Amino acid sequence: MTKCKLEYIWLDGYQPTQSLRSKTKIIENFSGNVEDAPMWSFDGSSTEQAPGGASDCLLKPVKIITDPGRLGTSYLVMCEVLNADGTPHRTNGRATIDDDDGDFWFGFEQEYTLWDPGTNRPLGFPAEGYPGPQGPYYCSVGNGKAVGREIIEEHLEMCLEAGLNVEGINAEVMMGQWEFQVFSKGAKDAGDQVWLARYILDRVAENHGVGINYHCKPVPGDWNGSGMHANFSNTTLRTCGSQEIYEAICQAFEPRIKEHIDVYGADNEQRLTGLHETQSIDKFSYGVSDRGASIRIPIGTVENGWKGWLEDRRPASNADPYMVASAIIATVKTAAVPA
């Protein structure tokens, strides 16, 4: 008999930003298949998801990967939260995604800041004052520029070992700020992969005595904020070959600014100011290769004959990728696409 460790992972009910929770279940001779992972439950009264008098919430496994951080046969189990009657819980953003056929592909660029708990500032910042201004840190190499690389490299290796489709990493514009990119053919799976990669990152940082700050503007002033740019496509965007269709889809986003900003992360007004490679939070624009627009049309899409994808640059680093994908899909489906 082989004792297998399954780490059940879910999103709690804290607002405006949900956190990850997890607990371990031991199963004998587990197959590693998601359909063989049993439903489980937890105390929702301890996670802002249920009252104490009726506290049971259910955990429905939706994706399983190898757990690279534990010895023996171990797995990470991403779960949806259900009510006791089996219906989706109000905090279950994954259940709102209308993409059961996997027509929508998503690539998320997750920015974050390594955080020094001793100084309560980004890793690499002096205890008093500030480092040199932005410029040398983006995609940097060398002491005094790239800080915390051992954490980033360990995280990357663990994600790849676990089977997550991480497509790259880089140091970002502010000292102590980094990014990883995740891609999946399917909106729900893309969200699963972001959350699992975040979970692994939090665990790696925990082992190093460092925090991960997902706030979209962790340092006020002339410093870049942190985003989670959402690159997306469906069959139409991947195959249409039409500038007119691309513009029609972009234009569908303009009247729905509020619907998107409402789920694009807390405190995003601190980041979306029209400065530091952003558009203002109350405005909408799109443009080819324009990193100051709400939606950027990548130059690669244009050079490929208007066949490719779009990038919504507004989601914040602390946004729920499930909710971001859900909002984008709903808007794209409203577009008045020319025949």
Tokens matching residue 309:
């994808």
Q: In terms of domains, do 111 and 71 share one?
A: no
- pLDDT tens digits along 173-194: 999 999 999 999 999 999 999 9
Strands 40-43 and 166-171, how do they pair?
Answer: unpaired
User: For 267-294, what is the mean pLDDT?
Assistant: 94
Percent share of the chain, pLDDT over 70: 100
Residue 231 in contact with residue 109, Cβ under 8 Å? yes
How many angstroms separate the CA atoms of 270 and 261, rounded? 12
CATH of the domain at 83: 3.10.20.70
User: For 5-12, what is the mean pLDDT?
Assistant: 98
Residue 78 in contact with residue 89, Cβ under 8 Å? no
**Given this model, what pLDDT does residue 296 score?**
97
Residue 87's domain comprises 3-92
Q: In terms of domains, do 24 and 159 share one?
A: no
Q: Does residue 100 lie within any of the structural domains?
A: no
- Residues contacting 188, CB < 8 A, separation 6+: 62, 94, 97, 99, 322, 325
Placement of tokens 């955080």 in the chain: 115
SS (H, E, C) 258-283: HHHHCCCCCCHHHCCECCCCCCECCC
Residue 89 in contact with residue 82, Cβ under 8 Å? yes
Length of the chain: 339
**Whether residue 337 has pLDDT greater than 90:** no
- Among 318, 69, 66, which Cα is nearest to 194's? 318
**Given this model, what pLDDT does residue 263 score?**
98
Q: In terms of domains, do 287 and 155 share one?
A: yes
**Given this model, what pLDDT does residue 336 score?**
86
Residue 176 in contact with residue 114, Cβ under 8 Å? yes
Whole-model pTM?
Answer: 0.97
Last residue of a domain, one of 55, 71, 92: 92
**Given this model, what pLDDT does residue 324 score?**
98
Tokens matching residue 322:
């499930």
Residue 251, CA distances (Å) to 38, 134, 214, 236, 261 in order: 44, 34, 30, 15, 16
Q: In terms of domains, do 25 and 153 share one?
A: no
Q: Does residue 97 lie within any of the structural domains?
A: no
How many angstroms separate the CA atoms of 327 and 40, rounded? 29
How many angstroms separate the CA atoms of 302 and 248, rounded? 15
Placement of tokens 């663990």 in the chain: 158
- Residues contacting 143, CB < 8 A, separation 6+: none
How many angstroms separate the CA atoms of 200 and 296, rounded? 30
Strands 56-66 and 40-43, how do they pair?
Answer: antiparallel
Q: In terms of domains, do 199 and 248 share one?
A: yes
**Whether residue 338 has pLDDT greater than 90:** no
**Whether residue 274 has pLDDT greater than 80:** yes
* Cα dihedral sign, 197-203-209-215: positive
**Whether residue 339 has pLDDT greater than 80:** no
Q: Which residue has the higher pLDDT, 9 or 54?
A: 9
Q: In terms of domains, do 34 and 115 share one?
A: no
Residue 110 in contact with residue 197, Cβ under 8 Å? yes
* Cα dihedral sign, 131-134-139-140: negative
Q: Does residue 339 lie within any of the structural domains?
A: no
Last residue of a domain, one of 92, 117, 144: 92
**Given this model, what pLDDT does residue 183 score?**
98
User: For 183-206, what is the mean pLDDT?
Assistant: 98
Q: Does residue 99 lie within any of the structural domains?
A: no
* Cα dihedral sign, 60-65-67-73: positive
**Whether residue 277 has pLDDT greater than 90:** no
**Mean pLDDT (the chain, rounded):** 96
Angle between helices 187-207 and 149-162 (to 10 degrees): 130
Q: In terms of domains, do 303 and 183 share one?
A: yes
- pLDDT tens digits along 218-270: 999 999 999 999 999 999 999 999 999 999 999 999 999 999 999 999 999 99
